[in-house]
Structure formats: C-alpha cells, structure tokens
Amino acid sequence: MDLATKPGTATPGGDAPKTAGDVSRQPQEIDGFQLVIDALKLNGIDTIYALPGIPITDLTRRSQAEGIRVLAFRHEQNAGYAASIAGFLTQKPGICLTVSAPGFLNGLNALAHATVNCFPMILISGSSEREIVDLQQGDYEEMDQLAIAKPVAKAAYRVLHADDIGVGIARAIRAAVSGRPGGVYLDLPAKLFAQSIDAEAGRKTLIKVVDPAPKQIPAPEAVKRALDLLKSAKRPLIVLGKGAAYAQADADIKTLVEKSGIPYLPMSMAKGLVPDTHEQCASAARSFVLPGADVVMLIGARLNWLLSHGKGKTWGGKSAKDWGGQKFIQVDISPQEADSNVRIDAPVVGDIGSCVSALLAGMGGSWAKPPAEWLSAVIEKKESNVAKMAETLAKNPSPMNFHSALNVVRDIIKANPEAILVNEGANALDFTRSIVDMYKPRKRIDVGTWGIMGVGMGYCVAAAVTTKQQVIAVEGDSAFGFSGMEVETICRYNLPVCVVVMNNNGVYKGTDVDPTGRDPAPTVFVKGARYEKLMEAFGGVGVVAATPAELRSAIEEAIRSGKPTLINAVIDENAGTESGRITSLNPAAAKKKS
C-alpha cells in the first residue's frame, strides 16, 4: 500500500503539502524513531542492548538522548545474550537492537536462546526496503528477516506504518512476557523510522500495555489432585527449575518446601532459590533421590535432557528408555508441557506464583512431613557425599585444579551472597555448579537449556547493570573466547565485573595432540595464554593466579575495588574430563557402549 494513502500517514520524511502562507498551520510532526522511543518509554523500558549502524544508529543516539540507557556492544550476539538474561532477572523484556541482515543474524542466536530458555526478550532489527527484498532485487543488506526469525521466536512482527508502531511494540511486549515467556522478533524497516505523522495523532496510537503478564490461576481441582498425590507419597521429591526462579515467588516457594518437609533438588539456575546449604537440599544426593523418589513435584522445571527425560537409569529405570515408576506432579505455566516425556499424573497449570500460593493454601495448617525413613536415608547419602567432596576440596595440588580453585570461589560467594555468579564452560561449568553453593535467588546465571557457550560477557554486563551487584564470572578458557572482546564493553561502562578464566589450555583439557604432528589438536589453544592482558588493554585490572591463595586475594581485591578485573587462573591442563559431566552424550561414548 502506498504510505500516503493510509489515513493519518504522511509521505516518508514528513513532507506534508507546503505552500507559502500555511506554514503556521502546519501540524507538528513526529517521526518513526521518536514513536519507537516513546512507545518503549511508555512501557517502562529503560535499557537497550545494542550495536549501532544503518538504519538504527539514530535510534541508539536518540534513545540515549531521551534518557534510555543504551549499552553498546562489540558483537550483537553478546548484546542479545545480555538482553535475554536481563529479561530473566527483571521479568521485563530485554531489548536487543541490531542492524539488518548480518547484525540481525548475529542477534538471532540469542533470540533462539531466549525462546528455548523461556526468557522474555525482544530482538528489534532494522531491515531493508520491503519492495526490494520481496522482489529480491539486491538491496543493501537484503534479507527476509521476519521469515528467518519466525521458527526460533515465540512471536515475530513487522511494522510498516508509523501509526502501527504503538501496536507493534505492545504486541511484542505482551508476547515476550505473558504465559511462558520467550524471544520475540520485531522487524522495523528503514523507511519506517523516517516516516512522519501528525504528532498528536501519532502519540494517541501508542499503547501502554495493561497487565502484560496476567496471572494464571490454577484450577482448584488440579491443585487438589496434586496435593492428594503428594500426600500419598512415601518418598517425595521437589525439583525446582529456572521457571521457579523467574517467577519471583521466592518466599512462598521457600515456605512450600519447608512446610512440606520434602527434600528438594534445584536445577542449575534455581540454585539459591532456597539456600543450597538448607537441610532439605538434596543436591549432594542427586543420584540417590532421583531413582529413589516415588512422587516428584516439578516446579517450573521441564523433563528435558537435563533431567534425563524423566526416565531411564537416572530415574531407576531398567534401561535407557524405561520408566522408573515415579508419579509426577508438574507445576508449569504451559498446558502443553505435561506428558512431553513421561506421563504426568497431576498437572497444575498456571503461573508459578499463583500455583505455589494455591498449593500452600490447600496444604492447610497441618501437613504431615514425609516418612522419617526417607528423610534419614537422603541425609545419610548427602552427608557421605559432602564429606567426600570436603576431602577433595581440602587438597592443594600444584598446579591448581578445578576443585582447589573453585573451593576459593565457594568461600567468596558464601561471604558475598548478593554477588551474581555467571558460569560457562564444560568442566568449568559442571564443577562450579556442584562445588559453589548459592544462597539467594537468581544469583546464578549460566548456559541454560542448550548448554550454550558465549553467554558469558553479555550476561556480565546485563547482570551488573540490572542488579547493581558485584558480578563474578567463572569461565572456561574456551567459553570465554566466544565473548572475550566484550571486556572492552565492561571497561567502557566501568562495571563491577570480575572474570575468572579457568585456563586449562583448551576445550575440556589442554593435552590433546594431532596424531599426524602437523597442527595443534582441535581442542587445544596456545599454551599459557595471557588472558589477563586483554583486560589490561582497556584499562581494567589483569592478574595471573597460579595458586588458590593468589586467586583468593585477586577476587577479594576485585570485589573491594569494584574495578573490571580478569584473573587468569592457571589450571592443570590434565584436570578436566571430556565433555565435563555429559560425556555420555558424545557419540563416541554411545559407540563404545554398543
């Protein structure tokens, strides 16, 4: 449609008819850039994670001038991961702003990550001329971005007319945060930004979204069914997922756990929702409670690969696909989640906050604790595993290994429970998850559902900016490489981020060799790399730590100073294992078994 034929829309550039004499009666005009900014501000969006260029450079400039915080990155993927985790931490959609085709594609990975992890995020990308893209006539950065985004987004929209900007942004916000949150794509063609319309009429098109994530109250009969099943259990277990952490229903979740007396297992990003040191925490007895439980209540946790699909040997099944005999209660916002892997006997569908408070109300004043036999068996198993771990942690080998280094991080987090722990890598991830206790909700952010590498520095920026807390990132040396250039971003905004690179010279280990002797092995990096110099290059603090004592004093100093710091923690290159804890997913392992 010709833009000029649409009611209320002037020709691009705002060229309303001009004749001498009628200038004073010219209505004041507003352009697409301004409408986007006004729509975002109207909906409480105060931060944008961006990388400028045609056609959105002026959107970044003008947003900043209007008081929105614009954090500019060195690569869109990192801006995207920042936006995704900002969404998780704040329940507001994190906004990532990119240029067309290549910038859009760089941001796409993060959009998919947001969707898979149920983080609310909006990827806004500028795009080229529709007419030229659709006829494939070879425009600057030509690409049908909307079509490409759709399969990895929860929703995707394009706005062609300035007077639809309000609706476009309102729809994007609702789609991102309502129900099960996810990644939303919003396509804004270059022409849109330059369109001008009557200012007053334009402002009237903006929508302040009312109740963007409405409560979803569970049905009373579903709650009763779940509680009846839970009551019948002899060996109950609660599994807390990152959906539970996202819900910000922290006090009620803790009360539910404590009132029920049931042992609980936090998934990685639910650690600290109830402190890992709580007497009912069963993390140290995971391989005992999963096959041992008879009724399992999943709260905001999906039975995906991270929970072995709810079946197989992990759950006490006879072989890889056998059901272990557990009955499941699943508390989830999505009605489609139940039965995705095994039968769910009691689905409770609603937002986690409403579901947990309904469960609490239904439990009443006198809830019988689980049988003492089960509780004491869990505690016994847990204590023996904790004692074994304490022995390993107390060792001080030279060179330093993952355990002796992470024992330091464990103490530091205990002393600084408000700090945010960012974590990625293979061994660097798995060991941190099991060794470092978390004490508060949403303090641990990591690779999520896909086990994706590259989230590190983007997460650090967003965590520092949204929470204003100290951030400590424990990074495998490979993992760090995916986003390492963003240390410049961290220095530029002077953020309180301490990056600890667990430097074992490679992916999993640093010891592989090319059997032909020609090249370094694919898993191995430059030995003894000086990652700390990267931080020094931009004015931050770089430290080499070869012992736990050096690591401790370097992290403590980073926290004391609040300065951007990178600690190159030199780890024994033999210390890791292939694929960390998921060696079994490596096709080579499957081949060995058969």
- Interaction pattern, residues 309-348, with ligand TPP; x per rule: CB under 6 A: ----------------------------------------
| Near ligand TPP by CB under 6 A: residue from 425, 456, 484, 540 | 425
CB of 470 to Mg ion, least distance (A): 24
Contact between 476 and Mg ion per CB under 5 A: yes
232 alpha-carbon distance from chain centroid:
36
Work out whether 456 is an interface residue with ligand TPP (CB under 6 A): no
Select from 3-11, 93-101, 382-390, 420-428 the region that touches ligand TPP (CB under 6 A): 420-428
Residue type, 238: I
- Interface residue with ligand TPP among 184, 293, 303, 428 (CB under 6 A) is 428
Q: How far is the CB of 555 from ligand TPP (least distance, A)?
A: 18
422 is a contact residue toward ligand TPP (CB under 6 A): no
Q: Scanning the structure block, which residue is given the tokens 């309180």?
A: 496
Residue 311 per-residue DSSP state = B
Please tell me whether residue 427 binds ligand TPP under the rule CB under 6 A.
yes
Instruction: Output the CA–CA distances (angstroms, integers) from residue 10 to 58, 161, 554, in the order listed.
Output: 21, 10, 60
Nearer to ligand TPP, 441 or 576 (CB): 576
CB 479 → ligand TPP: shortest distance, Å? Answer: 3
DSSP 426-449: SHHHHHHHHHS---STT-EEESGG
454, 484, 496, 540: which one binds ligand TPP (CB under 6 A): 454
- Nearest partner of 371 among 519, 234, 567, 549, judged by Cα: 234
Q: Is 453 in the site for ligand TPP (CB under 6 A)?
A: yes
**Considering the rule CB under 5 A, would residue 477 count as an interface residue with Mg ion?**
yes
CA dist 46 and 180 (Å) reads 23
Spatial separation of the C-alpha atoms in residues 224 and 20, rounded to whole Å? 75
Per-residue binding letters, 489-528, with ligand TPP (x by CB under 6 A):
-------------x-x--xx--------------------
**Is residue 478 a contact point for ligand TPP (CB under 6 A)?**
yes
Q: Which two tokens stand for residue 118?
A: 């149920």
Q: Say if CB 353 and CB 249 are below 8 A apart.
A: yes
Smallest gap, in angstroms, from Cβ of residue 554 to ligand TPP? 19
The SS3 call for residue 423 is strand
Cβ proximity to ligand TPP, 121 vs 405, nearer residue: 405
Per DSSP, 323 falls in state B
Which of ligand TPP, Mg ion, none does 448 bind, CB closer than 5 to 8 A by kind?
A: none
- Burial zone of 17 (CB within 10 Å; 0-12 exposed, 13-18 middle, 19+ buried): exposed
110-331-275 Cα angle (round to 5): 75
Residue 452 near which of Mg ion, ligand TPP, none (CB within 5-8 Å, type-dependent): ligand TPP
Q: How many helices, marked H, and strands, marked E, lie in the chain?
A: 23, 19
Decide whether 76 or 351 has the Cβ nearer to ligand TPP: 76
Q: Report the alpha-carbon distance of residue 130 to residue 275 in Å, rounded.
A: 52
| Contact partners, residue 14, CB within 8 Å, separation at least 6 | 29, 31, 194, 195, 196, 197
Q: Which is nearer to ligand TPP, 263 or 448 (CB)?
A: 448
Rounded Cα gap, residues 513 and 518, in angstroms: 9
The contact mask relative to Mg ion for 77-116 (x = CB under 5 A, - = no) is ----------------------------------------
- Binding of residue 449 to Mg ion (CB under 5 A): no
C-alpha Rg value of the chain to the nearest Å: 26
DSSP letter for 351, please. -
Buried b (16+ CB within 10 A) or exposed e, 438-474: bbbbbbbbbbbbebbbbbbbbbbbbbbbbbeebbbbb
* Nearest distance, CB of residue 478 and ligand TPP, angstroms: 3
For 560, other C-beta atoms within 10 Å of its C-beta total 9
Size of the site for Mg ion (CB under 5 A): 3
**C-beta of 357 vs 427, nearer to ligand TPP:** 427
Stretch of residues binding Mg ion (CB under 5 A), selected from 126-134, 415-423, 473-481, 584-592: 473-481
Residue closer to Mg ion by CB (options 274, 566) is 566
Nearer to Mg ion, 260 or 401 (CB): 401
Q: By rule CB under 5 A, what string of x and - marks binding of each residue 499-518 to Mg ion?
A: -----x--------------
List the one residue from 173, 296, 479, 566 that touches ligand TPP (CB under 6 A).
Answer: 479
What's the CA gap between 560 and 381, in Å, rounded?
38
CA dist 247 and 333 (Å) reads 10
Using CB under 6 A, list all residues that contact ligand TPP. 425-428, 451-454, 476-479, 502, 504, 507-508, 576, 580
Using CB under 5 A, list all residues that contact Mg ion. 476-477, 504
